[in-house]
Structure 1
Amino acid sequence: MAGERHVEGRLVGARGVELFWQGTEPAEPTGVVLVSHGLGEHGGRYGNVVDTLVPDGWAVYALDHRGHGRSNGRRAHLDDYMDWLSDFDLFRRTVTARHPDLPVFVLGHSMGGQIALAYALEHQDVLRGAVLSAPALASPAAPKPLVLVLTQVAKVLPTIRPTGIDVTKISKDPAVVAAYRADPLNHHGNPTLGLASRLVGQFSTLPERSRALRLPVLIQHGTADELTDPAGTRLLESLNGSPDATVRWYDGLWHEIYNEPEREQPLADLREWLAAHR
């Protein structure tokens, strides 16, 4: 696209961890979208979102969360949940300094969807709205008794890596799975128990906290997602307090709705919703 440019930079986040961010800016941006990526991946995997939104005037930026992508930190590990939120706030302030008068939306997927929701609840005054794609609010692999055990073990052994995600379940498109496996910026091992316990620990509290949400929100989820349980999104759908909440369910779609063979509809819904709320 004429006038479009790629930008990138680094920040010093919580506990002195250096973080990487990147963005694609149209010639005359009219809004900002901040991407919060999922577990094990990085902000550079959102090309479909960039290609959909930038022609409409959106400047799209993504932060590599600590321990992911080109950011520093122990791979796929988290010491304290507030580190994620502190990092993301620094990222937002850095980006909005480039566009001080434009509306800002956060778009989070999976783990990043949870982070985006938690961040939005704490910073409703500086955001225009939030988009949550398959937010990590429940997992079929994490029954409550197991969560309690893992939480206790994580206090003693936070850096062990007992289990991870099955990347073959991210999309029905074999090319997407192959590209994920070939991408050296993805984390191809398991997350630490420290990260997993803090992520799963929000399942019992974040949907309830969403009663305080007043921002416009778009929630998108595939019904055949086996990585983040749609039950968590259904709970969020029923509890969130936003007076402007839109929920879109995609029958038969897997985890990464923007990378599914049927991606056209979720991306069109995203584009339409953002345009209506700019």
Structure 2
Amino acid sequence: MIEKTFASHDGVELFYRVWPARSGAAKGAIVLLHRGHEHGGRVAHIAEELGLDDYAFYAWDARGHGRSPGERGHSPSFAHSVRDLDCFVRHIRETDGFAVEDTAVVAKSVGAVLAATWVHDYAPDIRALVLASPAFDVKLYVPFAKEGIALWQKLKGTFFVNSYVKARFLTHDPARIASFEADPLITRPIASNILLELYEAADRVVADARAITVPTQLLISGSDFVVRHAPQHRFFENLGGTIKERHVLPGFYHDTLGEKDRAKALEKVRAFLLVRFAEPPIVADMRRAHLSGYTRDEADRLATPLSLLSPRGLYWALTRASIRIGGLFSKGIATGLGTGFDSGSTLDYVYEDEPRGLGPGGRLIDRQFLDAIGWRGIRQRKIHLEELIGKALARLKAEGKPLRLLDIAAGHGRYVLDAVAASEAKPESIRLQDYSPINVDKGTALIAERGLQAVASFHRADAFDTEALAATEPRPTLSIVSGLYELFPDNAQIEASLAGLARAMEPGALLLYTGQPWHPQLEMIARALTSHRGGAAWIMRRRTQQEMDQLVAAAGFRKIEQRIDKWGIFTVSMAERI
């Protein structure tokens, strides 16, 4: 066993252990994720007991656990820790040469929820996923404990909750019980924000497990005192992959892979991994999901009108009426009603995040409008875009490439110009485009306001015109597509747009693209809000991250890294032209 550290996305050095393959050249990498309160040393026995000598094993100490730094049991957010996992797997790939398709993940409890969320949100094409007693729903035996924790956190801020779980309720193995009780690295407290966000992420991933197509094995402990079974079964039934296994282990406590009779569970894991590594990687082709797939079915349901005589039809009719009334007082709602809630004008207003309206009441309504979960996600997407624009420009400059920026659907272009202003590497040319004359006029004025006419220009253009994009001059070294593809359900349009960009860009050029794999208010948007396209209903077909990434890869790009907000709504990815 070798002890190492890696730098995560925020520069924090996280601790991990490596067990190199004993037989020489490794056939693949197996990443082990420990349960909550524990650390990588608690899963070390799995590397030995699985008997897979032809594979390298890796086990980290999650942030705030074991020998990794951070306040015990705390992380800035659950999404922060999921991104830690993404960095960990990329570190393994970059340092030890294991492709993501030659990597499997074996995860327990909270670690299993981290793994499932990572696979859902980042769509890595790993070889296999094994989840042992995932903590999709932790049993809090005090009535209304979750609601109480949420209220107290809202009033007092983040605090810590101590685990009630005794070692004897985790396993029947006396040696494991003794080692747990004597282990000085066990972390009893868990931060309230992590506990609450664990529930939120679990609910989202269980409900949307159709997005997960990785070959998955689920192990369920039959006598689990820590987590509930029902969400585990629901997750399995919702899984979108064609290769999946579910095994219920009677009498097992929560520490499934550390139970007294764990050989029964480990043999199932071993057999599953051997078959998966013996066969070619299984990757579902999602590029025709717009024709048949669960997100197409979802969009079709939302596009079906409701009878005004039905309770739901009446509810949404009243909601639409209340929005129209709100538009008399709120500047933001009025902008959405006038130009479409998906328009560049509305997005620019949301970016500014300054409530305006008729008197104090109008500003209050506008504040509520701006604080909707979708708009908060949009503003976080802007932050991620600006971060990756700066990173892309710095990378191109370091490689000695010219800095020529193109945004094919820039809205007013505010996020691009803000990012350029914050970047030390300045583009020699900035070409902004949009199909809306309003956006072109507003964007041109914004360029003039910032005195960038010498390097920046705004043009009216069709982002789906393959030939026009391919003929773009100067040839871009950084192209941006933000908030566009999410508005159009047909993948043929996206393929046409990406094909034009690919032809315009030389190898080594970079592409930034956004996605929306999930949204908590899809029905409200479809039933109550209008689009910029003639005031029609704003009906969105979600694309899973896997679908979006496959469309980009098919056009000739290799994804490098990704960002996602803590609610799991909007993603921003960087890809390289190959």
- Map 1:4-43 to 2 at 5 A: 6-26=1-21, 27-43=24-40
- Map 1:41-80 to 2 at 5 A: 41-53=38-50, 55-80=52-77
Deviation at 1:212, TM superposition (A): 0.8
Query: After the TM superposition, which of the residue ranges 72-81 and 246-255 deviates more from structure 2?
Result: 72-81
Deviation at 1:18, TM superposition (A): 2.3
Q: How far does the alpha carbon of each residue in 1:55-112 deviate from its partner, in whole angstroms, 9 at most, with x for none? A: 4412110111100011001100122122111111111011122033571011110000
CA contact (8 A) 2:163 2:189 kept: yes
Residue 80 (structure 2) pairs with residue 83 (structure 1):
yes
In structure 1, C-alpha distance between the alignment counterparts of 2:224 and 2:208, rounded to whole Å = 24
Percent identical pairs in the alignment equals: 24
Distance 1:53 1:172, change over 3 A: closer
2:178 match? 178
TM-score normalised to the size of structure 2? 0.45
Deviation at 1:195, TM superposition (A): 1.9
Query: After the TM superposition, which of the residue ranges 24-33 and 160-169 deviates more from structure 2?
Result: 160-169
Question: Aligned partner of 1:139: which letter?
Answer: V
> Comparing both structures, which one devotes a greater share of its residues to helix?
2
| Structure 1 residues not aligned, in runs of 5+ | 1-5
Distance 1:123 1:106, change over 3 A: farther
Query: After the TM superposition, which of the residue ranges 229-238 and 12-21 deviates more from structure 2?
Result: 12-21
Secondary structure in structure 1 of the residue aligned to 2:137: coil
Q: May I ask how many residue pairs the two structures share in their alignment?
A: 272
TM-score normalised to the size of structure 1? 0.91
Q: Quick one: higher RCO (CA 8 Å, sep 6+), 1 or 2? A: 1
Query: After the TM superposition, which of the residue ranges 261-270 and 23-32 deviates more from structure 2?
Result: 23-32
In structure 2, C-alpha distance between the alignment counterparts of 1:144 and 1:245, rounded to whole Å = 35
Q: How far does the alpha carbon of each residue in 1:183-236 deviate from its partner, in whole angstroms, 9 at most, with x for none? A: 11211x321212211212223222012111111000001110111212221111
Moved over 4 A (4+): 142-145
In structure 1, C-alpha distance between the alignment counterparts of 2:201 and 2:274, rounded to whole Å = 31
2:262 match? 263
In structure 2, C-alpha distance between the alignment counterparts of 1:116 and 1:255, rounded to whole Å = 17
In structure 2, C-alpha distance between the alignment counterparts of 1:14 and 1:276, rounded to whole Å = 34
* Alignment root-mean-square deviation, CA: 2.0
In structure 2, C-alpha distance between the alignment counterparts of 1:138 and 1:36, rounded to whole Å = 18
Deviation at 1:156, TM superposition (A): 4.3
In structure 1, C-alpha distance between the alignment counterparts of 2:136 and 2:14, rounded to whole Å = 25
CA contact (8 A) 1:25 1:54 kept: no
Residue 150 (structure 2) pairs with residue 151 (structure 1):
yes
CA contact (8 A) 1:154 1:197 kept: no
In structure 2, C-alpha distance between the alignment counterparts of 1:11 and 1:154, rounded to whole Å = 32
In structure 2, C-alpha distance between the alignment counterparts of 1:177 and 1:157, rounded to whole Å = 35
The structure having more radius of gyration, on CA atoms, is 2
Secondary structure in structure 2 of the residue aligned to 1:65: coil
Q: How far does the alpha carbon of each residue in 1:103-126 deviate from its partner, in whole angstroms, 9 at most, with x for none? A: 101111000000000011133343
1:3 match? none
- Map 1:1-278 to 2 at 5 A: 6-26=1-21, 27-53=24-50, 55-97=52-94, 98-101=96-99, 103-141=102-140, 145-168=144-167, 169-187=169-187, 189-278=188-277
Q: How far does the alpha carbon of each residue in 1:7-47 deviate from its partner, in whole angstroms, 9 at most, with x for none? A: 22112324443211111011221111111211110011113
Deviation at 1:142, TM superposition (A): 6.7
In structure 2, C-alpha distance between the alignment counterparts of 1:7 and 1:268, rounded to whole Å = 26
Distance 1:68 1:238, change over 3 A: same
CA contact (8 A) 1:165 1:227 kept: no
In structure 1, C-alpha distance between the alignment counterparts of 2:109 and 2:191, rounded to whole Å = 17
In structure 2, C-alpha distance between the alignment counterparts of 1:29 and 1:80, rounded to whole Å = 34
In structure 1, C-alpha distance between the alignment counterparts of 2:51 and 2:17, rounded to whole Å = 14
Deviation at 1:171, TM superposition (A): 0.5
Question: Aligned partner of 1:99: which letter?
Answer: G
